[in-house]
């Protein structure tokens, strides 16, 4: 029952999640709409980070609904409260570890994105997501599979970044390739009618291609503490990545994103 989250939190983490969210938000929003998330629903966003998805849910459920976003990073929760609470009356942010969810039969939707890959025991959280749902409620999980994450043209710096990202997550007990296992995990937690969709963003704009650099900056402390690379090597990788993404022909194909949902 363990998480050793690798990526920096606070304002740095919120800024990174904002950039990443802008890239994948369209596919997430389409999924929420297609699954009937609508006015009046009560929802829980597990591992909400900077609250980007929480707010999209809030817009869908309207004033009669309510969404609660939880995250173990109290600093990022405070930032989200300051940014969004004055604007949305149907949103609440709480500093809470996903393992400590103890509500039962409360929600029409439980949702999580980019959290479970960092956990040693993701099935504990999915079981809590199941227990928190009302009968007939739906859980949605969006998670990565790094096996399809690559760039064009080939870049040694990019390949090394991916290697370090994978190594540090694995060293801390996570699994960056968890996406394909989510359907099995949901079934094991009791969910019925589990379904899956696959999306894979492609980064062609500089504002998108910068994501690996931003991520490397946010995981460098964990990489160094695990003795996987030195500060000197990371600085060199960041410089090489900067040169790579400036090339107009460069493309980054992001990790496969598994969208999985199931019902109670």
The pLDDT assigned to 3 comes to 45
Assign 52 a pLDDT band (cuts: 50, 70, 90). Answer: very high
In a domain, 100, yes or no: yes
Tell me how far apart the alpha carbons of residues 211 and 146 are, in angstroms, rounded to a whole number: 14
Residue 71 structural domain? 10-146+174-202+255-263
Distance of CA 256 to the CA centre of its chain: 13
User: Model confidence over 134-165: pLDDT tens digits?
Assistant: 999 999 999 999 999 999 999 999 999 999 99
DSSP letter, residue 179: G
Report the Cα–Cα distance between both ends of the chain, in Å, rounded.
23
What ranges in 140-192 are assigned the alpha helix state H?
156-171, 182-188
Tell me the helix, strand and coil percentages in the chain, rounded to 5. Answer: 50, 25, 30
In a domain, 240, yes or no: no
User: Model confidence over 16-26: pLDDT tens digits?
Assistant: 566 776 778 88
Closest C-alpha to 23, from 252, 263, 238: 252
The pLDDT assigned to 8 comes to 46
Q: Parallel, antiparallel, or unpaired: how do β-strands 107-113 and 133-145 relate?
A: parallel
Who's near 136: CB < 8 A, 6+ residues apart?
263, 264
- pLDDT, mean of residues 178-199: 98
The pLDDT assigned to 11 comes to 58
Strands of the 202-203 sheet, one edge to the other: 150-152, 251-253, 202-203
Question: Residue 45 sits in a domain of what CATH number?
Answer: 3.40.50.150
pLDDT of residue 1 exceeding 50, the answer is no
- pLDDT, mean of residues 233-250: 97
Q: Picking from 21-30, 183-192, 212-221, 237-246, which range would have the lowest pLDDT averaged per residue?
A: 21-30
pTM of the model: 0.92
In a domain, 220, yes or no: no
Looking from the CA of 71 toward its CB, the CA atoms found within 13 Å total: 29
What ranges in 133-230 are assigned the alpha helix state H?
156-171, 182-188, 206-209, 211-225
User: Model confidence over 60-114: pLDDT tens digits?
Assistant: 999 999 999 999 999 989 999 998 988 999 999 999 999 999 999 899 999 999 9
3-state secondary structure of 259: strand
The pLDDT assigned to 132 comes to 98
The pLDDT assigned to 142 comes to 98
Number of domains in the chain: 1
Who's near 210: CB < 8 A, 6+ residues apart?
19, 245
- Helix or strand (DSSP H, E) at 141: strand 133-145
User: Which pair of structure tokens corresponds to residue 165?
Assistant: 């990202």
Q: DSSP letter string over 42-111?
A: EEEEET-TTSHHHHHHHHHH-TT-EEEEEES-HHHHHHHHHHHTTT-TTEEEEE--GGG----S-EEEEE
User: Which pair of structure tokens corresponds to residue 7?
Assistant: 């990526």
Who's near 86: CB < 8 A, 6+ residues apart?
none
């Amino acid at each position: 029952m363990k998480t050793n989250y690798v990526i920096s939190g606070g304002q740095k983490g919120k800024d990174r999640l904002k950039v990443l969210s802008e890239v994948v938000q369209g596919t997430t929003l389409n999924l929420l709409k297609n699954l009937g998330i609508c006015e009046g629903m009560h929802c829980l966003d597990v591992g909400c980070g900077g609250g980007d998805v929480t707010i999209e849910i809030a817009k869908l459920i309207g004033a009669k609904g309510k969404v609660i976003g939880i995250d173990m990073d109290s600093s990022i929760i405070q930032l989200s409260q300051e940014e969004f609470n004055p604007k949305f009356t149907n949103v609440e942010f709480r500093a809470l570890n996903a393992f400590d969810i103890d509500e039962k039969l409360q929600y029409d939707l439980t949702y999580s994105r980019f959290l479970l890959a960092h956990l040693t025991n993701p099935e504990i959280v999915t079981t809590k997501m199941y227990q928190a749902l009302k009968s007939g409620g739906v859980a949605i999980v969006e998670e990565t599979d790094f096996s399809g994450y690559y760039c064009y043209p080939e870049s040694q710096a990019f390949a090394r970044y991916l290697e370090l990202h994978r190594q540090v997550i694995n060293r801390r007990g996570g699994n960056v390739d968890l996406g394909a296992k989510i359907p099995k995990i949901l079934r094991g937690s009791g969910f019925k009618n589990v379904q899956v969709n696959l999306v894979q963003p492609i980064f062609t704009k500089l504002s998108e291609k910068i994501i690996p650099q931003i991520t490397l900056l946010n995981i460098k402390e964990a990489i160094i503490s695990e003795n996987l690379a030195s500060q000197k090597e990371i600085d060199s990788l960041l410089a090489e990545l900067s040169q790579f993404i400036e090339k107009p022909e460069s493309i980054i194909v992001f990790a496969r994103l598994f969208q999985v949902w199931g019902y109670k």
